[in-house]
A and B are shown apart, each in its own frame.
Chain A
Amino acid sequence: MEDEVLFFQEFSIMGKDFSNAGTVSTQIKAILKEIGFDPVIVRRAAIAAYEAEMNVVMYADRGVVRLRVTPHKINIELEDEGQGIEDIELAMQEGYSTATPEMREMGFGAGMGLPNIKRNSDEFEITSERGKGTRLNIVINAR
């Protein structure tokens, strides 16, 4: 029963809704903690989810987040509709950012988000279509 789904929930994120930015990741953190994952794992998942959530808020129109938990894995999938990313390799580079001054004032837009999501993931996939949207698949192994 390796891949038995212990928990599944879908969340939605609205683009530009800065006042609710972070609520999905905060909920994900609470759920994972409640399930009883190692705090180090919970922290990694929460950090990855938060950076990814902020990206949807900052750069996309709307998105969904699917949290899927199995006995061995935490899977966070984000799918958004929006401008998409033209050059993924460039976007993945530390320091690359198209954030506006307003976003920087909020403490984001250092170009560290995607690299840090990847660093906190055991498996990480990003695909994007310009003018359509972006999909991130984050997997963190439970130890």
Chain B
Amino acid sequence: MKLTEIKELLDAEVITGANRLEDDFQEVCSADLMSDVLAFATPGTILVTGLTNVQSVITAHVAEVGAIIYIRGKHPEEDAIKLAKQKNLPLLASPLSMFEACGRLYAKGLKSGSNTPK
């Protein structure tokens, strides 16, 4: 699913990465614990999170997460936005809850971007 469609689906605002709205994503991982992302996220996944600090962007960069969606109307902190711009990482902010955001993505056929043992 293209990032532009995901933006519409989640009523999201694009904070950075407006040049990457045509990027296609198949997987989603949701976590507030960055160690979970570092341990289980698959490269290229979308990360849905409520963690808005710079660590969210560093983690995404290190783990090769393709885009971050912040939920519940939270906005990433200034240094997070700055680093995301440098790394050309798309950041979106959605007013939806974690459940609602992930539920909508799941219903559209996106798959788990998390390698946790079944």
Contacts and interface: CB of A to CB of B under 8 A. Distances in A.
Contacts of A26: 58, 61-62
A47 B36 contact: no
A107 B62 contact: no
A51 B55 contact: no
A17 to B, nearest CB: 13
A51 B53 contact: no
Contacts, number: 64
B53 A107 contact: yes
A108 interface: yes
B39 A112 contact: yes
Nearest to A104: B33
Contacts of B62: 22, 25-26, 29, 43, 46-47, 50
A23 B103 CA distance: 34
B83 to A, nearest CB: 8
Interface residues of A, number: 22
B61 A51 contact: no
A110 to B, nearest CB: 4
A50 B79 contact: no
A107 B56 contact: yes
B55 A106 contact: yes
Given A106-B34, A107-B33, A109-B35, 16 more contacts: A22-B54, A22-B58, A26-B61, A43-B62, A46-B62, A50-B59, A51-B38, A106-B55, A107-B35, A107-B53, A107-B56, A108-B35, A110-B33, A110-B36, A111-B35, A112-B38
Interface of A: 19, 21-22, 25-26, 29, 39, 43, 46-47, 50-51, 106-113, 116, 119
7 contacts: A26-B62, A47-B62, A50-B38, A50-B62, A106-B34, A106-B55, A108-B35
